[in-house]
Chains A and B, each alone.
Chain A
Amino acid sequence: MVKMILWRSVYAVASLFVVSVIVFAATQALPGDAAVAKLGKNATPAALESFRQLYHLNDPLPTQYVNWLGNILQGRLGVSFATGFPVGSLIGDQVANSLVLIAATVVIAVPLAVVLGILTAIRRDRATDHISSVLMLVISALPEFVLGVALVLLFATNVSQVLPAVSPVDPSRSIFQQLDLIVLPTLTLVLLVLPYVVRTVRACMIEALESEYVTMARLKGMSERRVVLRHALPNMAGPTFQVVAQSLAYLAGGVVVVESVFQFPGIGQAFVSSVLSRDLPVIQAVAMLLAVFYVLVNLLADIGTVAMTPTMRGGTR
């Protein structure tokens, strides 16, 4: 078990390293000149040259990479091309906003999905199950932005004008004072992860309910309640944890689109706008941040799953 955690961690660090190379390569080493990208096609050669000097763009690539990585590791994320402000302070608020969004999503989606998954498994092939499975099928088919726009059409137009269509969070106030603005983005994200978790929980629960140990529990005279709670539930903890963590990781991609739909000032929107304006330092910082989040959550998923599954844990030595 300890060996497995170590091994996974080494692997996570290794893949982050590879990711950093990819991020660096995609933004700095590939054809397309950052200086031209920043200053425009009409910039004078002298201006381009001084820009390159300023950002060390003339150094050999490995040197650039090592410097860049060193800075990132020390928390120096560079200076935005577009605004001239340090990237760190620029995206700090946005990271916080996104985290609130993700946290709200998890708090709502996970219990809802687990309960729904268990319920549909127990009432398998009855009306509840059928309705739920069709709904999940439809929702899981939709792109994030279509879901978001559909919710806007439903709740923020003449259909029912109850919530704001966009979420321009006022940076001078705490996000917790503007909670109405995060309702629709959160709802979108909840719907986004719901189908995956519900399906997995349902499948695991059914597997457990059909297992021989559950049949045996019934033959030992246990009540149905006890069978579900004491015998079936513990066996789906591992897979459930895994799918929850995976969908959390999936949210790292989902926020990008959903924040754009609602113009929610989070990390995703920062990413899209920096890509559109080719603001390299911001792109690099946000991409690395999201990748770290993604890898860490996946690492957590692997470790947690093993920790929750006795058969994978190895002996009690």
Chain B
Amino acid sequence: MGTDTDRYTGEYAVEVAGLTVDLERGAVNVVSDISFALAPGEILGLIGESGSGKTTVGSALLGHARAGTAITGGKIVVDGVDLLSLNRKELRRYRGRVISYVPQDPRASLNPAMRLGAQLQEALTVHGVASRQQRLARIRQVLDEVKLPSDDRFLRRYPHELSGGQQQRVVLALSFLCRPKVVVLDEPTTGLDVTTQAHVLRTVRELCRSHRTAAVYVSHDLAVVADLADRIAVMYSGRLVEVGAAEEVALRAAHPYSRALLDVVPDPHRRREIRTIRGRVAALHERPDGCVFADRCDFVEPECRRQPIGVVRIGDGHTALCRRTEALPVRAGQEEESTRVGGTPDDAVRTPGEVYLAVRDLRASYGGKEVLHGIDLTVPRGVVTALVGESGSGKTTLARCLGGLHDEATGEVSVDGRRLAFGAHERSAADRREVQYIFQNASEALNPRKTVGRSIEQPLRVLGGADGPLSQRVASLLADVALGSDAADKYPSQLSGGERQRVTIARALATAPTILICDEITSALDVSVQSAILLLLKRLCADSGLTMFFVTHNLAVVRAIADRVVVLNEGRIVEQGPVDHVLDRPQDPYTRQLLGDTPSLLHA
């Protein structure tokens, strides 16, 4: 503890020491011994996957514990005062004024029944700005800073009348209104398009710089954080396993988990070998006594499991929670990998063979409003095509048309020269076997009342195609997606998110399809789980010659999995071609902008 506080001699904007949060019942630890310090204007990226406790830390910094949890130890010193030593009333005077919070979902966190002006004014009123004149002046100033209109007409609006990006800017304005010393941002760009995300990130950076506000930026996205933050803190199972300067961590990560995380993050600028982290995160009640990462670590020794690991100093302001840092091999550096840019893809992709799937002048609408304006597309057999675009680009509609889920469409889709109907019910059984669709949300795509086995059997029962007993076929399908045969008797609620998505993949493979359509199937998953799924899909395509459509908003994922890419914007194709070709030398301005806004570790 305290190792982080010796790199700076002035007064810190915030000093956190030994922060610990437990469940109220059962004395179960949620996060423990969180310590770091930030100088004014410094941005800390707090990174972690599901279950790491990063959000818990984020709200605990304001002295707030979520229902069922309690802050049980530590200090949070802001402006010379330990927030945790204050009573409720005193704490209220600090919240919002000295330390403020930007939540994940701006839509839910703005009061739907209050006008923007009233909400902004109130934030100043409760902290003692009594003059309306003063309040309005400050509000207009801050709204200008976050690049929102500041006229009266805007202030009279209600939150639901704004776009998602605007709502997030209002929340930013709210949190910077009182000129706080520290701002905690909890995944503020989640759910925003990359372009909007880039704008918001830029604004955050400018605000922190110009007002010398320290920020804690909580995120699951290493690339975003590496782009934005001065320092990075990596969380795993409730512990800060590594803290250090951003480029230091990005280039010379010391903790095995940080290193693994860096390895699984896909990058839009280079094709990397897809790697995975073995095992899965331990549940809250099953965390190991010794090193929290021991069960998944490649360098584990018996000694690691014996007792909690102490903080190890790596360099100036760089610490890790690992007793084996010196024994770790030098990481396969970025330089080495960068040389492989534009390396791998099959030459077949550049010289397309026979056309397997063809789309001609496809137009689709919702309730009479056209959202796809004439799509022309051809795909050779066995190729992975990524459909990429922002929300509203029509990428999902296109996928649904191909999958037979959207029939308000005209034009022509043909497979192997055979014309395909738009509605699944008009397709022949053979067509329905050949084209399979995987949904984004796996927990909704599986009937919660059916066992995994029954769900996987369903297409076989309806469409036929199984030779031999169904249970045998189910077991072999489960094996194909790296699940044990015992999964067949489980219900979806007993599986993790990644496992559920594997089940939907197994179900799609049951009828031995030739075309697989994946609609954002990894976007709700952690990066380490995502990489495992991508690896699985890649292997399946290589093994069985599947032709795959992969819908995504993430260019990094495109680079990782696809051979060809189709870029959609507002219902039109703006660019298409081999992935490495398009992403290395984008021709269309839209593609270029998209690529520029996609966060990358290379930028860092």
Given the interface pairs A220-B174, A226-B126, A230-B122, the reply to whether A311 lies near B158 with Cβ below 8 Å is yes
B328 vs chain A, min Cβ distance (A): 40
Q: Which of B62, B109, B123, B157 contacts A212 (CB 8 A)?
A: B109
Task: Decide yes or no whether B110 CB sits under 8 A from chain A.
Answer: yes
Contact B161 A213 (CB under 8 A): no
Known: A213-B109, A221-B94, A223-B92. A311 touches B59 (CB 8 A): no
Residue of B nearest to A237 (CB): B113
Q: Within 8 Å of chain A (Cβ to Cβ): is B425? A: no
A225 to chain B, nearest CB (A): 11
Pick from B99-107, B350-358, B588-596 the stretch touching chain A: B99-107
Chain B, interface residues (CB within 8 Å), range: 20 to 34
Range, interface on chain A: 20 to 34
Q: Does B64 contact A (CB under 8 A)?
A: yes
| A52 CA / B567 CA spacing, docked (Å) | 80
Bound Cα distance A304, B550 (Å): 47
A67 contacts B by Cβ under 8 Å: no
Q: Which residues on the A side are within 8 Å of B127 (C-beta)?
A: 221
Q: Which residue of A lies closest to B118 (CB)?
A: A230
Taking a contact as CB atoms under 8 Å apart, the answer to whether A216 and B113 are in contact is no
B62 CB → nearest A CB, Å: 5
A315–B158 Cα gap in the complex (Å)?
8
Closest chain-B Cβ to A204's Cβ sits at a distance in Å of 12
- On chain A, the residues within 8 Å of B96 by CB distance are 219-222
* CB neighbours of A217 from chain B (8 A): 111
**A212, B108: Cβ atoms under 8 Å?**
yes
Residues B64 and A211 in contact, CB atoms below 8 Å apart: no
Contact (Cβ within 8 A) B161 A316: yes
Given contacts A234-B114, A311-B158, contact A222 B126 (CB under 8 A): yes
Q: A234-B114, A310-B113, A310-B158 are in contact. Are A221 and B92 (CB under 8 A)?
A: yes
Looking at A211, A212, A219, the one whose CB has the most chain B CB atoms below 10 A away is A219
Do A213 and B111 have beta carbons less than 8 Å apart?
Answer: yes
A215 engages B113 (CB within 8 Å): no
Q: Are B95 and A212 in touch, CB under 8 angstroms?
A: no
Assembled-state Cα–Cα distance A311/B162 (Å): 11
The distance from the CB of A258 to the nearest CB of chain B, in whole angstroms, is 36
Q: Is the CB of A213 within 8 A of B108?
A: yes
Report how far A211 CA is from B109 CA in the complex, Å: 8
In the bound complex, residues from chain A placing their C-beta under 8 Å from that of B113 are 234-235, 237, 309-310
What 0/1 pattern do residues 391 to 409 of B give for CB contact below 8 A with A?
0000000000000000000
Closest to A308 in B: B113
Q: Is the CB of B112 within 8 A of A235?
A: yes
Please give, as numbers and ranges, the residues of chain A lying within 8 Å of B156 by CB-CB distance.
316
User: Which residues of B are interface residues toward A (Cβ below 8 A)?
Assistant: 59, 62, 64, 92-97, 100-101, 103, 105, 108-114, 122-123, 126-127, 156-158, 160-161, 174
What are 24 A-B residue pairs whose CB atoms fall within 8 Å in the complex? A212-B103, A213-B110, A215-B103, A215-B109, A216-B103, A217-B111, A218-B95, A219-B62, A219-B64, A219-B96, A220-B95, A220-B126, A220-B174, A221-B94, A221-B97, A222-B92, A223-B92, A226-B126, A230-B122, A234-B111, A234-B114, A309-B113, A311-B158, A316-B156
